[in-house]
Amino acid sequence: MGKKAANDNVRVMVRVRPFNSKEINENGGQIPFCTVEVNSETVITSKPPPGEAGNEHSFPFDHIFWSLPADQMPAPVPFADQPDVYNIVGVPQLDSMFDGYNGCIFAYGQTSSGKSHSMMGYEGKGRGVSPRMCEEMFARIEEAKEAKKNTTYSVKVAMLQIYNEQVQDLLKKGGPNLKIVNDPQKGPTVRGLIEKDVHSWDEVNQILDQGIANRSVAATAMNATSSRAHTVIQLSLDMVDELGQVGAKKISRPRRSRANLVDLAGSEKISKSKVEGANLKEAIGINQSLTCLGRVIDHLVDGKPHIPYRDSVLTTLLADSLGGNSRTTMLAALSPAAINYDETVSTLRYASRARKIVNQVKVNEDPTAALIRELQEELAKMKQSVLTGDVDTLQQIMGTDQPISAANMAAKTQELETVIEQIAALEQKEQEEEEKREQQWISERSELEARHNEELAEIEGMRAQLEQQKVQLEEQQQQLQANLKVKQRGVIMNRMQGLTRLAAAQQKAAEHDETKKDLQREMIVNRLRTSSEKQKYKQAIDEARAVQRNAATDEERCRNLEQELEAARAYIAQLEIRKFGPQGKAGKGGGGYAAMGRGMR
């Protein structure tokens, strides 16, 4: 291994899955409270659900994938679908593999947070990062073949699972448990693991299907199809660059790279998955290896001299990917639901710690320096043979048994020198490119850090403003509450006065009713009395009229009697005249009938 290793931080990215239909249905068909907010493509903030204790926390990462559709939760960053995740997570890893670097992508997060969706994908929802990487790997190999590049490629695929601290080959049903050994050339290697030579994406696809079918799946209360095992796909790429030929000797440069594509089991606490019996043992096993992974991360970040890789099978296998020779990306999967808030915060903490791990990456190739040295030795031996006239050695070096002419010698020497120069130039160029890449990486990283710091400062500023607003609002609220109390008291007083007035009015109304009733009674009595008096008057009038009528009749009769009397007097007078003559009786006392009549009047 000729090149010096370059520093390379573990890239950590976060993906937030959409709310599922169960979560929406349980919230009465409404979109539930979202426990994370994305501030930019690299900063995410956790938000405690309403009524739950805790503060908001912002975390910087290398990338945030927001996979909640806009109708669930709009965000200031673009929606990330499967190809977007592949382009940012998978493509740089594939580029790196073609450069000869080892790689690792591991998905971390609680059950049903979207790890398998991102790593493998599901029928109908789009393929995940691992199959897309395999497919593009073969597309690139085909392109290189068509462009007649002097490189040959060979690809191998293996698939394993770590279940209850045991390694099982997923390409062999029911095989024995396998051991991990440390290969000085390849790093941690599973001894006896089947590595299938593959020549096309179709072949890989079939192999992945076979591996998935063999996977151990145990139902838990959280997700009936949740895999309780850590699943690893190992993708190996061997490349040989043909540089030329020196005599009988082919000068080639072999490189190889290997990527571990890891879908970890759920990181949730045991109590939540409600597992029992055999499943409980399994859950403890899973947790143990994830706890150990956390410990390895902590030790690496804190710069401890001993890293406890050997404490679990998972960390033994991933030793190179964490702190070793590997370009590593961690994809932290999150659920936005309130019920998962604690796990979400713990995943963000875990992941942000992993971001501080620095790996030492280098191209996996046979040392160019050794090759140059070998060629230089050959050249020196050749020159020595010319000086000493050692024809046999010269013939051996030049791969011929024919006599060697001076021209042949000069041509051969020239050829050897050219190859040495070419290789040295190649090495120089690669060295420069690597330094350039490292510089670029450092400047990108510091730019990113600066941006994060700015964003964090901005968020902090906003938070301080919000805190201030909160204090003001609380004061306003207190004031309003005090006002409200005063008003309430006034309202109560008014109501009491109102009630008193109402009672008085009711009393008056009752009295009024009584008076009204008395009056009505009186009226009735009066009416009755009036009608009986009317009757009496009528009777009196009738009687008076009768009296009047009688009186009139009597008068009439009186008049008649008087007339009769007059007539009688006249008659009497006539009779007297006839009897006594015209002085008659008048002179003698004058009584008679006429005097009677007058006396009767």
Site for ligand ADP, rule CB under 6 A: 17-18, 20, 67, 109, 111-117, 122, 125, 223, 226, 266, 333
Provide φ and ψ at 547, rounded to 5°.
-60, -45
User: 67 vs 116, which CB is nearer to Mg ion?
Assistant: 116
| H/E segment holding residue 115 | helix 115-119
User: 119 vs 235, which CB is nearer to ligand ADP?
Assistant: 119
112 binds, among Mg ion, ligand ADP, none (CB under 5 to 8 A by kind): ligand ADP
User: 267 vs 368, which CB is nearer to Mg ion?
Assistant: 267
The total of other beta-carbon atoms located within 10 Å of residue 5's CB is: 14
What span, in angstroms and rounded, lies between the C-alpha atoms of 307 and 315? 10
Least separation in angstroms between CB 375 and ligand ADP: 52
Least separation in angstroms between CB 282 and ligand ADP: 15
Integer CA distances (angstroms), 48 to 13, 77, 100, 462, in order: 21, 21, 44, 17
Contact 15, 80 (CB under 8 A): yes
| H/E segment holding residue 549 | helix 406-580
Least separation in angstroms between CB 33 and Mg ion: 25
Please tell me what DSSP assigns to residue 227: B
Structural tokens at position 19: 């709310």
Structural tokens at position 183: 């290969």
CA angle 20, 26, 31 (to 5 degrees): 60
SS3 of 392, please? helix
Q: Let me know how long the chain is.
A: 601
User: 115 vs 132, which CB is nearer to Mg ion?
Assistant: 115
333 binds, among ligand ADP, Mg ion, none (CB under 5 to 8 A by kind): ligand ADP
Residues that bind Mg ion (CB under 5 A): 115-116, 227
Least separation in angstroms between CB 125 and ligand ADP: 5
What span, in angstroms and rounded, lies between the C-alpha atoms of 147 and 170? 36
Contact 268, 346 (CB under 8 A): no
User: 58 vs 116, which CB is nearer to Mg ion?
Assistant: 116
Residue 220 Cα to chain centre, angstroms? 23
Cβ within 8 Å of residue 230, ≥6 positions away: 161, 162, 163, 262, 263, 264, 265, 286, 289, 314
User: 116 vs 321, which CB is nearer to ligand ADP?
Assistant: 116
Least separation in angstroms between CB 457 and ligand ADP: 31
Contact 345, 122 (CB under 8 A): no
Integer CA distances (angstroms), 324 to 6, 294, 306, 420, 496, in order: 11, 16, 13, 32, 82
Contact 137, 156 (CB under 8 A): no
SS3 of 425, please? helix
3-class SS letters over 476-534: HHHHHHHHHHHHHHHHHHHHHHHHHHHHHHHHHHHHHHHHHHHHHHHHHHHHHHHHHHH
Burial of 72 (0-12, 13-18, 19+ CB in 10 A): middle
Least separation in angstroms between CB 124 and Mg ion: 16
User: 225 vs 453, which CB is nearer to ligand ADP?
Assistant: 225
67 binds, among ligand ADP, Mg ion, none (CB under 5 to 8 A by kind): ligand ADP
User: 189 vs 227, which CB is nearer to ligand ADP?
Assistant: 227
User: 227 vs 257, which CB is nearer to ligand ADP?
Assistant: 227
User: 209 vs 374, which CB is nearer to ligand ADP?
Assistant: 209
Provide φ and ψ at 257, rounded to 5°.
-145, 155
Least separation in angstroms between CB 126 and ligand ADP: 8
Least separation in angstroms between CB 264 and Mg ion: 9
18 binds, among Mg ion, ligand ADP, none (CB under 5 to 8 A by kind): ligand ADP
Contact 219, 304 (CB under 8 A): no
Least separation in angstroms between CB 181 and ligand ADP: 29
Least separation in angstroms between CB 230 and ligand ADP: 11
CB-nearest residue to ligand ADP: 114
CB-nearest residue to Mg ion: 116
Structural tokens at position 182: 């440390």
Binding positions for ATP are: 109-116
Binding positions are: 109-116
